[in-house]
Structure 1
Amino acid sequence: MERCTYRQRVGRSVRAVVGLALLLAFRAHPAPADESPVLQEVVVSAEAPPPEPTETPERTAAVTVIPAESFQEKATSVPEVLEQSVGLTIRRFGGLGAFSTASIRGSTAQQVAVLLDGVPLAGPGTGLVNLGDLPLGDVERIEVYRGASPLRLRSPAIGGVINIVTRKAKQGWNARADATYGSFDTLDTRGVVSWKGDRLGLLVSGSYTSSDGDFEFLDDNGTRANPDDDETTTRRNNAFYARNLLAKFSWEPSPVLRLELSDDYFDKREGVPGIGSNQSDTARLRTYRNVLSVRAVRDEFLSENLGAELFLHRIDETTAFLDPLGEIGVGRQDNVNETVGWGADGMLTYYWGEHQVLTLLGAYRNERAESRDELAEPAEGDTQERTTYQAGVEDEVYLLDDRLVLVPQVLYTFLDHEFGGRAPFSWKELPSPDDRGYWTYRLGLSYQPRPWIKVRANAARAYRFPTLTELFGDRGTVIGNPELVPERGVNWDLGVAVDPVWPAGRVHLEAAYFQSRTDDLILFEQTSQRTVRATNVSSAWVWGLETAWSLEVTRRLAVSGNYTFQHTENTSDIPYYRGNQLPARPEHELFNRLELLFGWGKVFHELSWTSGNYLDAANFEKAETRRIHNLGLSVQPGRGLTVTFELKNLTDEQVSDALGFPLPGRSYYVTVSAQL
């Protein structure tokens, strides 16, 4: 079969998605000048004019919205921003730019869906997203849904959803630039320029980040029980650089129609140092990703009470891992993994009277993964393909003068697999799994008995579908298991948020209880000295308590933070795992930020405290209690100019989230931000 180049594939995709989006444009007709779109009149209980409905966080879900204003003037990254959020645990395999994953309320990383403007980033091969590869310069806000999520995100994830929302052009000309320099020769530059007129809008955002990553750490030489051979050494082969470019074009041909074209490009090259006690000197990894999307939103489609949205997207991702000396894994490696996924989503929103909003969703997604061994003569590889069809309905009902909101949701997902290849060390062809459909249910509730108090509750059943690697295996390490069934999860939560009157300023307090049960968890079992096989052998139970606070004590003193307690238990039938705490899910996590505000700027202190954490499933390796202190000073020497000085890990704690992968100790950074 003739192979298309990347340029040809993207060219075809652009023509296809633009053509389909313009179908809606030709149906546009202007609304009368004295009429407002019905879209703006639905949510009568909103405290402020809401953003577009496709971007409004769901009203009943346990959701945290992190705006760019809270982090854009700091030296930070997506993993660092997320780990300060309630209910989240971030597992980092090194410093800035290192592989990082998220757990929400005790979930696995694969049970968390990570989206970029609604586009799923997890490839079908591993189902994991490296949060360290997500640039912050493009971000307008981050939405974190803990547990249940709205239908528009199309992600029936057991743990929850992290949706990265990128910037949009604002009215007139706007420009911003941020530059950070600090320890380990770290450089992070970000810039954005945008213009928006009455009908057209254009935004260009870019970033460049690099670091030597040569921090010192305590090396135990692989003998944790023997401190006599411990020594302080330097992390080697840990340098990286990453480039990112985001371009957006928007057009509003009429007051009821909006079109947006977006392309997000990311390229990263890095060393792969391996574990701390046996570092690699030559292993390299290159990651390339491009996300292209077209969105068309029409407020009045066939009827003034009916809104329509068409969302077309394509993602291309390539990773190339080179280990010429066989320093990581078994033997020399030169592997290239390519993933191409594209989808088409259609959504209808019907405003049924003044107190009900009905949403219908239809979605299609095709994912194709190809893995090649470039050392083979000739290069060989296998191709796997997955097609997903989804149909769902969600009803948002407002009762009791809009103080009570009920949101029932039903989503049906059908999977179709195709596989070309054979089992490792065999000429036998692997069969494809049976095509099956799955129902997902969710019910959300929000009740506001008083203007300053709100109660939320959610219950949901969700799935985590096996990855293509788990189903079909790879060229030699993983044996495929087409008989795998999806992981099944049931979760619920109950929470309350209060905003009492406080003479000094705003006060916000919230607390929530959550519980989840997951069955048919997929684990890898050793089948020989060289191979493993994924099987449905495990289950888990999690319950916990989340609390968060934000308090303006005085006009010059502000306190904010959160605390999460979670009890996790492995309930599988495996004797040496049953009853154990799940690894990398701490019992206690606390984050607190204290700010002293002045006319010229502010001084801040951040504390991250973690306790009760095991690093392995057998619970042999318990991490020590972690206390990380950060100090910062932010000054505003001129209009639109801010300079921030930060000292991170003030006490130089030697910590790690995973065995053999140390995190940096004390470090400093200076950030200059200019709003033009």
Structure 2
Amino acid sequence: MGKIKTAPISTILCLICCVNANAQIIRGKVVDDTTREPLNRAAVEIRSFGDDAYIAGGSTDAKGEFELRLKETYSKIRVSVTFLGYKPVQKVYVPDESRDYLDFEMQEESHTMDEVVVKGLSPAERVQRLAYNVSLVETAKLKNTTMDLSNVIDKISGVKIRSTGGVGSEANVTLNGFSGRHVKIFIDGVPMDGMSSAFGLNNIPAGLAKRVEVYKGVVPIELGGDALGGAINIVTDNSRRTRVSASYSFGSFNTHKTNVYAEHTSKKGLYVSLNAYQNYSDNDYKVNIDHYTKFGETGNSVVYEDLVVRRFHAKYHNEAAILKVGVVDKPWADRLLFGFTGGYEYKQTQNASNMNWVYGARYTTANTLMPQLTYEKKFKVLKGLHVSLNGNYNFGQSYAADTARCNYNWLGEKSKPKSAPGELAYTKYRYRDNNGAANFRMALFPADGHSVSLSTTFTSFSRSGKDETQPTPEYEHPQQSMKAVTGLSYKYDYKGKWNTSVFVKNYLNHLEAYLDPDGGSDYRDFSNTSSYWGGGLASTYFWGQHVQLRLSYEYALRLPTSRELFGTGDDIERGNSSLKPETSNNINVGVTASPIDAGNHRLTIDAAFQYREIDDYIRRTTNNDNGRASSKNDGGVRNLGGDFGIRYAFADLFFIGGNFSYIDMRSMTRYVTGTQRESKNYKERIPAIPYMYGNAEAGITLRDVFLKGATLDIHYMMNYIRQFSYEWNTYNNPELDVPTQFSHDLFVSYNFGRKSEFTVSAECTNIFNARLYDNFKMQKPGRAFAVKFGYNFLK
């Protein structure tokens, strides 16, 4: 076997240095128009004049100078410069060999904006400079994959998505130890509480979002929900342009995904957009079991045997469309949009909240019928007044069916007919979970460096329905809740170097339910309205040009969700209407540093630490007798942890990075309720929550591969979760542990160039077919392949 010859390192370096030897170079300088002082780290971006396509970008050095290379000559280009506290500057420029040096003079803003609006930086940079502990991910590199939003969020530092299976499976967010209901999800600042499962993180394509922002711990009042552990804000693209994109993918387990998006903004400001998508999968991946029920003529028996079986009752499909019509850039409205979201979901239920209970006929359906309203306006009065209003209401209906007259085992075998139908409980329940959500925000700027913000978020829930199998009016009792969270904040910004916000929140909660308010069995229709107060502060300081320090504190509350209070319509989760709100003292410290930020090289390091003391902690548990889940108040909990991230990028050619999180979340309830006997769970780690996990990723972008103007992207991801237990006091019992897991994913996409905008992508997830588990040891898919075809038109 002959040796493979490799090129000398010096030759490779020479090639890299000479690739763009003939490229056009655009140089320039950015200064303050009054002081003539150079502006360091001003953002410079070059885009084509016709289709506004990105060409090159960078930042100025300590002398305020920049140098950018263009790989080809354009008839016209746009060169724009942004810098915090200054008005953006843009020039239309025709490259000329005798005039390749540009001078930019920037005017300082007359006032400093707060969290609602900040000019002078890109939207992503504005978020990163906030006083709150925030991480974000741009989705541009992920739009060519088959990822949904839950997959995207799972890659962010400190975040872990808890899922129960394949496509369409329930997705809950764990953020620094707090489970999905402690973490609030927003789309453009509007809570997703009002959206049914037909429109959720587990089925919305990644392309819907422009970026995802994750707030860990203390949350700005603009995201006015009762978030105890943090918040996730999915930001969509509001650019004023005409574009059409379409994609289709197919992959393992007979999975098919389609997405079509179109939007147009006329010269007179008329705006219309349509985003439609569908997902389908058999979800028939293989799982490992160690026992199953053997059905016999004389009785059933449990057979203990290690087997690999294929899921046989897990089909899922959903379809959804989002239509928006309105006007933009009017004297009376920057944006006024009327929207409607319609969606349908069909989901077969393979098992209960753990894999010990298997089903073969249960299923649920849900539809979303949701009108929406969006209004935004920045007024010139009062030195700047920003008002926004967003709202939606879901009129959708759901259905849960459990009618089989037999039981199933993991082999797909049926038991002999039973006298009573129903695998878990005989059900034909048709119900409406009517959810509403509205958010009003206002910001004032009374003087330079000073701003005041007011935000109110209102959510409502009511369930009404009828089970055809129930002769009694059990489901006619009220099941309603309403929550209003109002926040008022004041912010002082000192010359962009230091800013601090102080805020106060009021939590108003109204509940109507069928329960015993004393916790006994004297059930009756119950109504109650409660009010609570909270507040805190957030401060950030910029130490030089490359270090940002953050500190925040909040006394926060989390009101129980409608699902925790009333359960799910399919009876897999039971409600607990007597739950108390959680209260918590949160302290967060963070630092972001860019020790290398010169030319094409950028190294960023993030570290964050948090300490929390929680009372009346709400914990989700499962019942081993029937597999149902429920929630209960679990006393006091202490949470201490941190996360660390690092990322290096070389221009737009190559990047590598990773993050790591460690959470020490323990019960601090010392005595068993009503006794002086010390609890066995005292100072034990809270079960069913990963406490050590991390991600790593790397990517490379190659241009002009095979075709001039073509782009080849290669993206690798690794995921790690340390072994954790899902029950208390397991004493090293492996049957109650979720094992340590490593998974590896690879994504490759090829774009044929600016003129065609066709993209072909291929991906392999869980490359080494590792056994992956989550929640209460629910097994997730093994190795999977997918291919995606996409087209994009932009004008």
Q: Does 1:664 align with 2:775?
A: no
1:177-576 matched pairs, under 5 angstroms: 177-198=246-267, 199-221=269-291, 229-252=305-328, 254-255=330-331, 257-258=333-334, 259-274=336-351, 276=355, 278-300=357-379, 303-325=382-404, 330-377=424-471, 381=475, 382-399=477-494, 401-419=495-513, 429-432=523-526, 434-468=528-562, 484-500=579-595, 501-523=597-619, 535-552=632-649, 556-572=653-669, 573-574=671-672, 575-576=679-680
CA contact (8 A) 2:576 2:631 kept: yes
Distance 1:59 1:544 in 2: 21
Alignment partner, residue 118 of structure 1:
189
Relative to structure 1, the CA distance from residue 497 to residue 239 in structure 2 (aligned partners, 3 Å threshold; closer, same or farther) is same
What secondary structure is seen at the aligned counterpart in 2 of 1:171? coil
Alignment partner, residue 727 of structure 2:
616
Distance 2:132 2:220 in 1: 8
Relative to structure 1, the CA distance from residue 192 to residue 535 in structure 2 (aligned partners, 3 Å threshold; closer, same or farther) is closer
C-alpha displacement of 1:308: 2.5
Q: Does 1:100 align with 2:171?
A: yes
Distance 1:265 1:663 in 2: 29
1:62-84, CA deviations, whole angstroms, 9 ceiling, x for partnerless residues? 22222231321112122221111
Alignment partner, residue 653 of structure 1:
770
1:492-523, CA deviations, whole angstroms, 9 ceiling, x for partnerless residues? 11111112324542222111111212111235
Distance 1:524 1:654 in 2: 24
Alignment partner, residue 46 of structure 2:
none
1:212-265, CA deviations, whole angstroms, 9 ceiling, x for partnerless residues? 111112222269xx9971111101111111111011123136345221222222
Relative to structure 1, the CA distance from residue 332 to residue 376 in structure 2 (aligned partners, 3 Å threshold; closer, same or farther) is same
What secondary structure is seen at the aligned counterpart in 1 of 2:635? strand
1:412-447, CA deviations, whole angstroms, 9 ceiling, x for partnerless residues? 122222336899xx9955252542111121211111
C-alpha displacement of 1:324: 0.9
Alignment partner, residue 674 of structure 1:
791
Relative to structure 1, the CA distance from residue 624 to residue 478 in structure 2 (aligned partners, 3 Å threshold; closer, same or farther) is closer
1:620-646, CA deviations, whole angstroms, 9 ceiling, x for partnerless residues? 422221111112322223432222211
C-alpha displacement of 1:310: 3.0
CA contact (8 A) 2:133 2:216 kept: yes
C-alpha displacement of 1:363: 4.4
C-alpha displacement of 1:458: 1.4
Question: Given residue 186 of structure 1, which amino acid in structure 2 is its aligned partner?
Answer: T
C-alpha displacement of 1:301: 7.5
Question: Given residue 268 of structure 1, which amino acid in structure 2 is its aligned partner?
Answer: E
User: TM-score with structure 1 length normalisation?
Assistant: 0.84
Percent of aligned pairs sharing the same letter = 18
Select the structure of larger CA radius of gyration: 2
Alignment partner, residue 162 of structure 1:
232
Distance 2:601 2:124 in 1: 29
Alignment partner, residue 7 of structure 1:
none
Q: Of the candidates 692, 697, 717, which is equivalent to residue 588 of structure 1?
A: 692
- Which 10-residue stretch deviates more, 290-299 or 643-652? 290-299
CA contact (8 A) 1:383 1:421 kept: no
Distance 1:622 1:205 in 2: 42
1:63-119, CA deviations, whole angstroms, 9 ceiling, x for partnerless residues? 222223132111212222111111112111101211121111111221111223333
CA contact (8 A) 2:195 2:394 kept: no
Distance 2:747 2:471 in 1: 56
Distance 1:464 1:557 in 2: 42
Distance 1:146 1:154 in 2: 14
C-alpha displacement of 1:668: 0.8
C-alpha displacement of 1:372: 3.1
Distance 1:305 1:659 in 2: 51
CA contact (8 A) 1:498 1:509 kept: yes
CA contact (8 A) 2:372 2:390 kept: yes
CA contact (8 A) 2:441 2:454 kept: yes
Distance 1:394 1:487 in 2: 23
CA contact (8 A) 1:89 1:585 kept: no
C-alpha displacement of 1:278: 4.7
Alignment partner, residue 633 of structure 1:
748
Aligned residues: 633
Distance 1:527 1:555 in 2: 51
Question: Given residue 543 of structure 2, which amino acid in structure 1 is its aligned partner?
Answer: P
Consecutive unaligned residues in structure 1, runs of 5 or more = 1-37
1:379-404, CA deviations, whole angstroms, 9 ceiling, x for partnerless residues? 751332223334321112101x2210
Alignment partner, residue 34 of structure 1:
none
Relative to structure 1, the CA distance from residue 331 to residue 527 in structure 2 (aligned partners, 3 Å threshold; closer, same or farther) is closer
Distance 2:763 2:323 in 1: 31
What secondary structure is seen at the aligned counterpart in 2 of 1:122? helix
Distance 1:422 1:529 in 2: 25
Taking only aligned residues, the RMSD between alpha carbons, in angstroms, comes to 3.7
C-alpha displacement of 1:649: 1.0
Distance 1:215 1:660 in 2: 16
What secondary structure is seen at the aligned counterpart in 2 of 1:81? helix
1:265-297, CA deviations, whole angstroms, 9 ceiling, x for partnerless residues? 221111111154553221111122244321222
CA contact (8 A) 1:137 1:205 kept: no
1:44-65, CA deviations, whole angstroms, 9 ceiling, x for partnerless residues? 9968445599x96781112222
Relative to structure 1, the CA distance from residue 523 to residue 430 in structure 2 (aligned partners, 3 Å threshold; closer, same or farther) is farther
Question: Given residue 513 of structure 1, which amino acid in structure 2 is its aligned partner?
Answer: F
1:297-351, CA deviations, whole angstroms, 9 ceiling, x for partnerless residues? 2222764533323333323343321111275863212223422233444332111
Question: Given residue 102 of structure 1, which amino acid in structure 2 is its aligned partner?
Answer: V
Distance 1:625 1:478 in 2: 27
Consecutive unaligned residues in structure 2, runs of 5 or more = 1-107, 294-301, 408-421, 673-678, 706-711
Question: Given residue 394 of structure 2, which amino acid in structure 1 is its aligned partner?
Answer: I
Relative to structure 1, the CA distance from residue 570 to residue 227 in structure 2 (aligned partners, 3 Å threshold; closer, same or farther) is farther
Alignment partner, residue 137 of structure 2:
66
- Which 10-residue stretch deviates more, 99-108 or 569-578? 569-578
Distance 1:241 1:39 in 2: 50
Distance 2:612 2:666 in 1: 11
CA contact (8 A) 1:157 1:463 kept: yes
Relative to structure 1, the CA distance from residue 566 to residue 523 in structure 2 (aligned partners, 3 Å threshold; closer, same or farther) is closer
CA contact (8 A) 1:138 1:206 kept: no
Question: Given residue 664 of structure 1, which amino acid in structure 2 is its aligned partner?
Answer: P
Alignment partner, residue 109 of structure 1:
180
CA contact (8 A) 1:301 1:308 kept: no
Relative to structure 1, the CA distance from residue 606 to residue 309 in structure 2 (aligned partners, 3 Å threshold; closer, same or farther) is closer
C-alpha displacement of 1:367: 2.5
C-alpha displacement of 1:153: 1.5
Distance 2:524 2:204 in 1: 35
